[in-house]
Amino acid sequence: MNSVILGGGATTPAGATAAETWRLLSEGYSAPRVPVPHPLGKRSYLYCAVPEKFVRTVGRQARLRRSGMLSLFGASAAFDALRDARVEVGPAFGARCALIYGVSSGGVQYTRRFYHEIVTQGASSASPLLFPETVFNAPASHLAALLGLNGKTYTVVGDSGVGLSAIQLGDELLALDPEVEYVLVVGTEEVDWLLPDAFAAWRLASKDGHCEVYGTRTGLVFGEGAGAVLLARQGQGPVVAQVHPGQSFFSRQDSRRVALEVLQRVLGADRPDAMVTSANGTDADAVEQEAFTRLNLAAPVYAYKPALGDALGAGSVLQAVFATLALRHQCLPGTLCAGDRCALVNRQTRSLALDRVLVSAIGFNQQVGALLLERTGSDAADARG
């Protein structure tokens, strides 16, 4: 379909909006690591938290007063994307907009609390107020109600690349359904102690809050927050030139072949001017780096996760937002805490002539996806203005 990204939004440990987050990332900001609260064991973990003040305003909405952080993050990023797109939200918009959420862990905080109370206090303690927030589509339900959306609403569940599946589904909806004029894609993630404890058992989590990409295998640092993009058939913004929702692999050796195939399919004969990657301090970094080498790519690489943590369900949507902002502002932030195994890493913020940005995503659930965004003439005119 080659849909257009009209606007992008984000709520992250760095900022309540995409613009604020981008400014701080460009200044070399690194989110503080704080202990994950409410441990169920003696093991402790550090993560990058979104300050509560960033979602205080959206949390005053009657619909969200009892909602989990997952829904608050998603709604905050979605409203930011709509403001960025300068779209008027009303009955006409609600009738023509579809909503697609990408989630990974879901409402893990309320889920843990719900079942913990059952185990420790008995079945009679199960709260009917908590249960609705434990289902994966709770954030989409809340946002659809807030925006007055009457059409298609989907929730896609996957790993840190699930946002690309959501973007691809949105692109298909715009191509096939004439009644859909806009598609709002949101990726969101909250952190609970259960997550890093599980990833530590798989040797995927950082032990001390340090995350080095394309170097020593440190494991990932968890982050939380949300990203959102508003898609349309036409308008001002980068074009979704190609998107691959994700292809499975079944071993480390297989991942190298799959990553190469996916990136080749998305790029074709094109070459990106920059790459926004999913590097997070795990084995996925080496797979990305090898694919870039075998394809003879020479574009600078930006990995945001050492700065903000890995917000799984929000990860690839945030990458798409940052790729959009890179095209808009014609610059690329510097990657923090990068090793020496990838010579393409961009280590300091700099201005660049960018027409194409590649987003690559390799998730813990053994999926490889990719997205290629292209700058249009209207983008260039807007940047000059």
Q: Is the pLDDT of residue 118 over 70?
A: yes
Determine the average pLDDT of the residues in 334-363.
98
Which residues, at least 6 apart from 120, have a Cβ–Cβ distance to it below 8 Å?
Answer: none
130: pLDDT strictly greater than 90: no
Q: Per-residue confidence at 378, pLDDT binned at 50, 70, 90?
A: low
Statement: residue 382 has pLDDT above 80: no
- Of the two residues 1 and 161, the one the predictor is more confident about is 161
pLDDT digits (tens, 9 = 90+) for 202-242: 999 999 999 999 999 999 999 999 999 999 999 999 999 99
Q: What is the pLDDT of residue 250?
A: 85
Listing DSSP states for 216-270 in one string gives S---BPEE-EEEEEEEESSSSS-EEEEEEEEEE--SHHHHHHHHHHHHHHHHTT-
Res. 288 pLDDT band, cuts 50 70 90: very high
Count CA atoms closer than 13 A to 184's CA, side-chain side.
34
Give backbone dihedrals phi and psi of 46, rounded to 5 degrees, phi first.
Answer: -110, 150
Alpha-carbon dihedral 42, 47, 53, 54, rounded to 10 degrees: -150
| CATH class as words, domain 239-375 | alpha beta
Tell which residue, 144, 147, 157, 152, has the closest CA to residue 173.
152
- pLDDT the model gives residue 345: 98
Q: Where are the domains of the chain?
A: 4-232, 239-375
- Of the CA atoms within 13 Å of residue 45, those in its CB half-sphere come to 29
- Give the position of tokens 């003879």: 296
Q: How do residues 2-36 score in pLDDT, each as one tens digit?
A: 999 999 999 999 999 999 999 999 999 999 999 99
The dihedral region occupied by 257, where left means phi > 0, alpha psi between -120 and 50, and beta the remainder, is alpha
Question: Does residue 188 register a pLDDT over 80?
Answer: yes
pLDDT band, very low/low/confident/very high, at 380 (cuts 50, 70, 90) = low
4-232 and 239-375, same CATH topology: yes
Report whether pLDDT(198) > 80: yes
SS (H, E, C) 270-296: CCCCEEEECCCCCCHHHHHHHHHHHCC
- Beta 331-332 vs 350-351: how paired, if at all? antiparallel
Confidence category of residue 46, pLDDT binned at 50, 70, 90: very high
Q: Within its chain, how far is the Cα of 284 from the centroid?
A: 16
Q: Which CATH superfamily includes the segment(s) 4-232?
A: Thiolase/Chalcone synthase (3.40.47.10)
CB neighbour list of residue 56: distance below 8 Å, 6 or more residues apart: none
Predicted pLDDT of residue 384: 36
CA 203 to chain centre: 22
